[in-house]
Amino acid sequence: MGRQIKKGSLEARILRIVQSRYPVTLAEVAKELRVTEKRTELAVRNLITQGVLVAEPLSDKTYLRVTSGFMVVGTAPEQKKALKHKGPKRGKIDDYEGNMYG
């Protein structure tokens, strides 16, 4: 069994992109994830030292490739931000005075 990676983590998102689109560079991965290139580079270095990714230097660019097996574990990340409901707000009815004035 290979390395276990938490679902929804930056490493899991990087691996999903590298698996689906090869050849891909570090800059392309960072742009697609909308994360800084430095943060992406740190995560990629971590995956390279663990043997999950390999950096293939070619003539002008360095491409990333998945090497060994890994398993994504855990549940999907929970929604942390409340949903914004669009549409008219439900408010009080102005002409209703209640039972007291009936």
pLDDT in tens, 17-51: 888 887 888 888 888 889 888 988 888 888 888 88
- Residue 89 vs residues 59, 83, 86, 94, 96: alpha-carbon distances, Å: 59, 15, 8, 14, 18
pLDDT tens sequence across 60-97: 888 888 877 666 667 656 667 777 777 776 666 666 66
Query: pTM for the whole thing?
Result: 0.62
How many whole angstroms separate alpha carbon 25 and alpha carbon 10?
Answer: 16
* Amino acid code (one letter) for 45: R
Residue linked to tokens 């990676």: 5
Q: What is the CATH number of domain 3-69?
A: 1.10.10.10
